[in-house]
Amino acid sequence: MAVRLYHLSVDTHNLPALARFWCAVLDWKVLVEDAEEIVIGADESTLPGMCFLSVPEGKTVKNRLHIDLTPDDRDAEVERIVALGARRVDVGQGEDATWVVLADPEGNEFCVLRPKTSLVD
C-alpha cells in the first residue's frame, strides 16, 4: 500500500493571521477558507499543503513536531521571515548550529537550515 504526505495540520488561535503568515513564508496561497479552517498550498494539485484549524487556546509547550525549511540563502531568508513576524528562539541549539530556530507569530518553533539539495546531506 502506498501513502503520501497530504498536509500538516496546525492548531491556531488566530486562524487568518497564522495561515497568511505561512502563505508569505512559503509563497503559497489560500486554497480553502471557512470559519474553522484554512488550507494553503502551492496550488490545488501539489502535495503537501498545510491546514490551519481554529482552536480557543494558545500554544503552551514546545512543539513535538516542527517544520524545517531549506532556502538558497539561510541568513537572508531568516531576516525576511523575521520581518514577516517570526522571532528567533533558543531551544538549546548552541552557537555552532548550522540552522536557525524561529517561532511563528503563535510561538510554533521551526528551523531554517543551510541550503540542502537532498534529504541525506
**DSSP 8-state assignment for residue 120:** T
Task: Provide the CA 51 distance to its chain's centre, in angstroms.
Answer: 11
Give the pLDDT confidence score for residue 1 in this predicted structure. Answer: 63
**pLDDT, one tens digit for every residue, the chain (121 residues):** 689 999 999 999 999 999 999 999 999 999 999 999 999 999 999 999 999 999 988 888 877 889 999 999 999 999 999 999 999 999 888 888 999 999 999 999 999 999 998 988 7
Give the pLDDT confidence score for residue 60 in this predicted structure. Answer: 83
User: For the chain, where are the E strands, in sequence order?
Assistant: 7-12, 29-33, 37-41, 49-54, 67-69, 87-88, 100-103, 109-112
Q: Which domains does the chain have, with CATH numbers?
A: 7-56 (3.10.180.10), 66-121 (3.10.180.10)
Give the pLDDT confidence score for residue 19 in this predicted structure. Answer: 97
Three-class SS state of 26: helix
